[in-house]
Chains A and B, each alone.
Chain A
Amino acid sequence: NAGVTQTPKFRVLKTGQSMTLLCAQDMNHEYMYWYRQDPGMGLRLIHYSVGEGTTAKGEVPDGYNVSRLKKQNFLLGLESAAPSQTSVYFCASLRALGDTQYFGPGTRLTVL
């Protein structure tokens, strides 16, 4: 039982490049979230999903897209990376609203 996994762990991009971050969970959770964590700003919600095939915007969605084609996977895409997207990205999953969230180990992204 791996819980929540994220790939890659680290990535360096140049401005304008694109990439996809993958989150996978093996707990059969309905809800999945993508956060970014920046110093002094805490965890900010980018996008979330309430079930397979659904996605919705969080508080900082600009510059990101997501997809949830399979229940266990939640993908976060950056179409044209900008230095402001340098951050640590965390995925989380939960069984139901109000339950605890289970976090992945994070992806550390640097955009030059």
Chain B
Amino acid sequence: QKEVEQDPGPLSVPEGAIVSLNCTYSNSAFQYFMWYRQYSRKGPELLMYTYSSGNKEDGRFTAQVDKSSKYISLFIRDSQPSDSATYLCAMWPSGTYKYIFGTGTRLKVLA
């Protein structure tokens, strides 16, 4: 079983839709959670960073962490064609060097 599971998609939505991207994990030692956006042929760039259960909002993006269910989500409101990219979740268990990445969900927002 992988430490982090992420649906690879692709996920196609119309412009303006609310998008929900999810990751589940199995290791309760994960303390910090990140979402990265990766455009085609580019490096991942950080979108959201959180370490506690609950919601964190930044503009059209909301990151949600449920440690009891070992589940994290990224919501994108009013999605735009420019949001079309692959979204990677990442987690860090305290006390180690290794970050665990999901395989990424490919999102396409149709104009």
Residue numbers of A with Cβ under 8 A of B are 4, 31, 40-43, 45, 48, 50, 56, 58-59, 90, 97-98, 100-106, 108
Evaluate contact between B103 and A42: CB separation under 8 angstroms.
Answer: yes
Evaluate contact between B49 and A100: CB separation under 8 angstroms.
Answer: yes
Residue numbers of B with Cβ under 8 A of A are 8, 31-32, 34, 36, 41-46, 49, 51, 88, 90, 92, 94, 96-99, 101-104
Evaluate contact between B34 and A90: CB separation under 8 angstroms.
Answer: no
A108-B51 Cα distance, complex, nearest whole Å: 33
Evaluate contact between B92 and A98: CB separation under 8 angstroms.
Answer: yes
* Closest B residue to A94 using CB positions: B99
* Closest A residue to B42 using CB positions: A105
Evaluate contact between B99 and A101: CB separation under 8 angstroms.
Answer: yes
A108-B43 Cα distance, complex, nearest whole Å: 11
A8-B43 Cα distance, complex, nearest whole Å: 14
